[in-house]
């Protein structure tokens, strides 16, 4: 394995500028010089990841400008299929979903784009970007040549890729390269026919001249199933101690092209209940320096992480949900603010490439609006007629979220106690069938919690005929590994004592619409103010409820409204 020496140096680049034919836009790989060629000139990208789906559209420009000012010449983004096709054949491409506008904006700002349209993206995103409705076919093998899966992929790519074609570099746009799948070598199927199918599909929609690539962990075993002839193999790794060794794994598959680290980790992801991940600036800058000194192309993952809005967070196995924040300890914070890491990274890039002069857009101003008292309006049980306007689905045995055609949030499972439980009686999920957390009440009195992988049994008491409610929360679908086929709800029977519970009423809950349109009318009955958190334990907890608070934006202060942070001191999940 040859040691890599810097190839696409600036000197060479400047010499070749004179010779280039500017009228023809091309983006290719030069085997002999081991680099990318942009319009026939050696080119090296220093890119950063930003997920438009994790940043409000209002702030896209602000974040992109900050990325440009850091000295990046490209950005990298995923496209989450489930974000754009929430129901089969129903597409969302407007407002915060307007990926074409995002790419155009990037172009106007003068940054190139490395596109990662999946269809699987991982990304700490619900089900790795695959739509939950794929699980309507229970035996589906995701990310394989399963015909049901391929048909859905084919249809989706047939909608997405034609939108991307005019945005390709060779067609006048900013997209220089397009990734096929994501870390496919880490998945168990190892199905080359699937990769070939994608390759063919990408070429048929994007043209033969599109530069397609794959990304896998920097280990030979991972590259084995993740790569395919005709797809340029790249690797991903964080601030490891031996950069040369990491790139050598790429060189074994790609002896002749550019070195590319498609995900150089600037920080790391978080899990519920764990401290926020931190990666030191020093580790990031020294590895970045070493990669750039080798002449490598680098994408910093993430450059700005952003937020998992709504229910878009994913989870890892053994089951651990990611939180709403996707801050990632990246150079720009979740709020888009400049950090010490940002300036340190900029200084490293400056050693290799020209960094734009002029002011860097400042962190957005924040305003402290003060304390807001929250008023408890209704528990979910009290608001059932609003949350579930079409009423429950009846079923002898429990049905999953997908079976009742609700994909996110909460579903209420209701039955009656078949016998007197005057002594504490174990209610159990013997097959770990609660996905992911159930808040249990009998006639509206909290009883306990069952939780996936954690709590399989809880005691309840109540009279025969009393209403047993389990409010089941989907905490996010697994986004990585074998078990992304992550069904939610009660996916197996529950037992009370020794008998299986039957005759369920299953209420799909449309919380989003309720919050948007009805919450205002919810005050008035049985309200009490809760400025202090209520006690919480597995046997004594408060049922999930809707709370509301008002605050005013003061007048007479210029530039309001401004961003703010919300804190819930002393509250719990
Ligand atoms: C880094 O890895 C290369 C290739 O495996 C090896 O030759 C070199 O000795 C390693 N360097 C260090 C400092 O371990
Ligand atoms: C439950 O207990 C009540 C008395 O508390 C009794 O009247 C009733 O018959 C019992 N029901 C069953 C199903 O055992
Ligand atoms: C349930 O109640 C029984 C009988 O009171 C007790 O032995 C057992 O420990 C309780 N189990 C749980 C999980 O609280
Ligand atoms: C999910 O997929 C894996 C791998 O194909 C399979 O072993 C498992 O049975 C599936 N799980 C469900 C709930 O279908
Ligand atoms: C519940 O148990 C019944 C009877 O054994 C079985 O037919 C059914 O498939 C089970 N349902 C689930 C969701 O496990
Ligand atoms: C919030 O303000 C609205 C309008 O003034 C009022 O109707 C509502 O009761 C207030 N809600 C709370 C929780 O204070």
Which DSSP symbol is given to 471?
E
Query: Ligand 2 within 6 A of 464 CB?
Result: yes
Q: Is 527 in the pocket of ligand 6 (CB under 6 A)?
A: no
Task: Return d(Cα 464, Cα 462) in angstroms, integer.
Answer: 7
Q: Which ligand is nearest to the CA of 461?
A: 3
Q: Tell how far the Cα of 57 is from the centroid of ligand 1, in angstroms.
A: 44
Q: Which of 107, 88, 87, 90 is nearest to 99 (CA)?
A: 107
Ligand nearest to the CA of 135: 4
Whose tokens are 């860097």? That residue is 360
Cα separation, 418 vs 427, in Å, equals 12
Give all domains of the chain, ordered by start, each with its CATH number.
41-351 (3.20.20.80), 375-520+539-548 (2.60.120.260)
Q: Determine how many CB atoms are found less than 10 A away from the CB of residue 498.
A: 8
Q: In this structure, which ligand is nearest to the CA of 400?
A: 5
258/221 Cα distance (integer angstroms): 21
Q: Are strands 41-43 and 35-38 parallel, antiparallel or unpaired?
A: antiparallel
Is residue 55 within 8 Å of residue 41, measured between CB atoms?
A: no
Q: How many CB atoms lie within 10 A of CB 69?
A: 18
**What is the dihedral sign for C-alpha 124, 126, 131, 133?**
positive
Q: Print pLDDT tens along the chain (573 aa).
A: 334 444 444 334 443 444 444 469 999 999 999 999 999 999 999 999 999 999 999 999 999 999 999 999 999 999 999 999 999 999 999 999 999 999 999 999 999 999 999 999 999 999 999 999 999 999 999 999 999 999 999 999 999 999 999 999 999 999 999 999 999 999 999 999 999 999 999 999 999 999 999 999 999 999 999 999 999 999 999 999 899 999 999 999 999 999 999 999 999 999 999 999 999 999 999 999 999 999 999 999 999 999 999 999 999 999 999 999 999 999 999 999 999 999 999 999 999 999 999 899 999 999 999 999 998 999 999 999 999 999 999 999 999 999 999 999 999 999 999 999 999 999 999 999 999 999 999 999 999 999 999 999 999 999 999 999 999 999 999 999 999 999 999 999 999 999 999 999 999 999 988 888 767 777 644 434 443 344 333 446 788 999 988 899 999 998 999 999 999 988 887
CB of 1 closer than 6 A to ligand 2?
no
pLDDT score recorded for residue 519: 76
Atom of ligand 3 nearest to the CA of 539: 14
Determine the residue of 371, 376, 550 to mutate for testing ligand 6's pocket, defined as the one with the most ligand atoms within 8 A of the Cβ atom.
550
Give the pair of three-digit tokens for residue 449.
């919690």
Q: DSSP letters along 408-458, please?
A: SSEEEEEEE-SS-EEEEEEEE-TT--EESEEEEEETTEEEEEEETTTB-EE
If 0-12 CB within 10 Å is exposed, 13-18 middle and 19+ buried, where does residue 138 land? Answer: exposed
**Hey, which residues are catalytic here?**
183, 263
Distance from chain centroid for Cα 555: 38
Give pLDDT, residue 264: 98
List, chain by chain if needed, residues with CB within 6 Å of any ligand 1 atom. Answer: 242, 244-245, 248
Ligand at minimal distance from the CA of 520 is: 6
What residues line ligand 4, using a CB cutoff of 6 Å? 138, 141, 482-483, 485, 487
Residue 23 is predicted with a pLDDT of 62
Tokens 């990669």, located at residue:
291
Site to probe by mutation for ligand 1, drawn from 242, 247, 251 as the one with most ligand atoms within 8 Å of Cβ, is 242
Inter-helix orientation angle 60-69/99-109, to 10°: 30
Contact 476, 322 (CB under 8 A): yes
Asked if residue 420 has its Cβ within 6 Å of ligand 2, the reply is yes
Give yes or no for residue 375 CB within 6 A of ligand 6.
yes
Burial 109-120 (b: 16+ CB within 10 A, else e): eebbbbbbbbbb
**C-alpha span between 397 and 413 (Å, rounded):** 10
Q: Hey, how many other C-beta atoms are within 10 angstroms of the C-beta on 373?
A: 12
**Looking at ligand 3, which residue's alpha carbon is closest to its atom 4?**
424
User: Cα(303) to centroid of ligand 6, in Å?
Assistant: 40
Structure tokens at 133: 């409705």
State which of 220, 245, 251, 286 you would mutate to test the pocket of ligand 1, scoring each by most atoms of that ligand within 8 A of its C-beta: 245
Please tell me the distance from the alpha carbon of residue 278 to that of residue 329, in angstroms, as a whole number: 6
Predicted pLDDT at 11? 39
Predicted TM-score (pTM) of the model is 0.93
């Amino acid at each position: 394995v040859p040691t890599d020496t810097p190839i696409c140096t600036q000197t060479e680049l400047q010499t070749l500028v004179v010779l280039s034919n500017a009228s023809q836009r091309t983006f290719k790989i030069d085997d002999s010089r081991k680099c990318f060629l942009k319009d026939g000139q050696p080119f090296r990208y220093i890119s950063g990841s930003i997920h438009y789906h994790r940043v409000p559209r209002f702030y896209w420009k602000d974040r992109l400008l900050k990325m440009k000012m850091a000295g990046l010449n490209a950005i990298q983004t995923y496209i989450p299929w489930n974000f754009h096709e929430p129901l089969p054949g129903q597409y969302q491409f407007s407002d915060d979903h307007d990926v074409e506008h995002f790419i155009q904006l990037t172009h106007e700002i003068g940054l190139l784009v490395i596109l990662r349209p999946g269809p699987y993206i991982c990304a700490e995103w619900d089900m790795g970007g695959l739509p939950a409705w794929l699980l309507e076919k229970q035996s589906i093998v995701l990310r394989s040549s399963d015909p049901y899966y391929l048909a859905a992929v084919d249809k989706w790519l047939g909608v997405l890729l034609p939108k991307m074609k005019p945005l390709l570099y060779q067609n006048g746009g900013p997209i220089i390269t397009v990734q096929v799948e994501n870390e496919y070598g880490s998945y168990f199927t190892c199905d080359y026919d699937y990769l070939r199918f994608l390759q063919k599909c990408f070429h048929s929609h994007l043209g033969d001249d599109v530069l397609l690539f794959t990304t896998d962990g920097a280990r030979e075993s991972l590259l084995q199933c993740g790569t395919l002839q005709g797809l340029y193999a790249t690797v991903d790794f964080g601030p490891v101690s031996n950069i040369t060794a990491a790139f050598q794994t790429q060189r074994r598959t790609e002896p002749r092209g550019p070195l590319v680290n498609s995900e150089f980790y600037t920080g790391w992801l978080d899990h519920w209940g764990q401290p926020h991940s931190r990666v030191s600036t020093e580790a990031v800058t020294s590895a970045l320096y070493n990669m750039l000194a080798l002449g490598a192309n680098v994408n910093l993952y993430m450059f700005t992480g952003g937020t998992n809005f709504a229910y878009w967070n994913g989870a890892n196995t053994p089951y651990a949900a990611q939180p709403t924040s996707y801050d990632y300890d990246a150079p720009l914070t979740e709020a888009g603010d400049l950090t010490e890491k940002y300036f340190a990274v900029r200084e490293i890039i400056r050693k290799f490439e020209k960094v734009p002069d002029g002011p860097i857009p400042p962190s957005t101003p924040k305003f402290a609006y003060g304390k807001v008292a929250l008023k408890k309006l209704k528990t979910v049980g009290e608001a059932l007629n609003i949350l579930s306007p079409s009423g429950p689905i009846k079923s002898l045995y429990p049905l999953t979220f997908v079976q009742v055609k609700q994909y996110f949030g909460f579903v209420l499972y209701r039955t009656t106690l078949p016998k007197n439980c005057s002594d504490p009686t174990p209610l159990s999920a013997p097959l770990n069938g609660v996905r992911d957390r159930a808040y249990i009440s009998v006639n509206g009195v909290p009883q306990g919690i069952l939780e996936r992988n954690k709590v399989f049994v809880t005691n309840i008491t109540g009279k025969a005929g009393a209403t047993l409610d389990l409010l089941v929360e989907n905490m996010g679908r697994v986004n990585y590994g074998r078990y992304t086929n992550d069904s939610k709800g009660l996916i197996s029977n529950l037992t009370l004592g020794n008998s299986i519970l039957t005759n369920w009423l299953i209420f799909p809950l449309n919380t989003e619409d309720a919050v948007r349109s009805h919450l205002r009318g919810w005050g008035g009955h049985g309200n009490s103010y809760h400025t202090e958190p209520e006690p919480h334990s597995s046997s004594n907890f408060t049922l999930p409820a809707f709370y509301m608070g008002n605050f005013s934006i003061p007048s007479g202060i210029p530039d309001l409204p401004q961003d703010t942070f919300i804190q819930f001191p002393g509250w719990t999940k």
